[in-house]
Homo-oligomer: A and B are copies of this chain.
Amino acid sequence: MTLSDVLRRMPLFASLSDAQREALAEHCLTAPCARGKIFFMEGDEAAGLYILLEGKVKVFRAAPDGREAILHVFGPGEPFGEVAVFQGGKFPASAECVEAGRSLFLPRTHLLERIAGDPALALRMLGALSLRLRAFAAKVETLTLMETPQRLAAYLLLTNDERMEQTGGKTDAGFQLDISKALLAGLLGTARETLSRCLTRLVEQGAISLDGRTVRILDRKFLEGL
C-alpha cells in the first residue's frame, strides 16, 4: 500500500484530490517507533504534526516528581501534536510510544499550505479539533464530578459501545481492553492500585466479568446508576 493510499483512508484527508494527496505524501516522513520512544516533550518547538499508522502513543503532562497526567492514548489513524501547529508553536504536552508501530510526520509549513488551499480540509481539521475538545469536556466532567468507580464505569460502558459499533456485533462476548491497566489508571486519573480494587469490586458486585483484559458487561443498569 502506498503512502497516498494510506492518506486516502484517513478521514482527515479524504477530501483531497489525488494530485493533492500525492503532493502531500511526498512531504511526509514515515518512521518506525519503538516502545518508549519520545516523539516530543512539552515545550519543544513544533515542526509539524504526527499521525500514527500503527501502535499506540500516550500524550501526557508530567509533574516534576515524575507523576503524569495522561491526556489521551492514540491508536492507528489518529493525528497528534496539531495544537502546536496552529497556535503557539510549542507543544503543550509530551508524547511517548507505548506500543511499537509506525508514525508519519507532516511538516508544519506544508500542512498550513494545504489547509490554506483547501477549505474542505480546513473544515475537517476544525472538526477533528472539535472532537478533541468534546473528549476533554467529558474528561474534565468525570474528573470533577465523579469518583473513581464511576469514572471506570463510564469508561467501560463507552468502550463497550464503541467496540460493539465497530464489530457491528450482537456478540455479547465482551470486549478487550486495548491498553494496559496501568495506562488505564493514568487515563482515569487514578493509581494502578485503586483501579485494581475498583475492578475486583465490580466483579464481586456482579456488574462485570473480568478475565485478563477481556471485560464483559453483565449489569448495565448497575454501571449506569453508579
Does A122 make an interface contact (CB < 8 A)?
A: yes
For A137, give the chain B residue with the smallest CB separation: B92
Q: Shortest beta-carbon distance, A114 to chain B, in Å?
A: 10
For A82, give the chain B residue with the smallest CB separation: B130
Does A134 make an interface contact (CB < 8 A)?
A: yes
A67 surroundings in chain B (CB, below 8 A): 145
Does A29 make an interface contact (CB < 8 A)?
A: no
Number of this chain's copies in the complex: 2
Q: Shortest beta-carbon distance, A113 to chain B, in Å?
A: 10
Q: Would A134 and B69 count as touching, CB distance under 8 A?
A: no
**By DSSP majority rule, is chain A's interface helix, strand, loop, or mixed?**
helix
Q: Would B71 and A134 count as touching, CB distance under 8 A?
A: no
- The tally of residues in A whose CB lies under 8 Å from a CB in B reads 44
Q: Shortest beta-carbon distance, A119 to chain B, in Å?
A: 4
CA distance A205 to B222 in the complex (A): 46
A139 surroundings in chain B (CB, below 8 A): 136, 140
Q: Shortest beta-carbon distance, A23 to chain B, in Å?
A: 17
Does A166 make an interface contact (CB < 8 A)?
A: no
A129 surroundings in chain B (CB, below 8 A): 86, 126, 129-130, 133
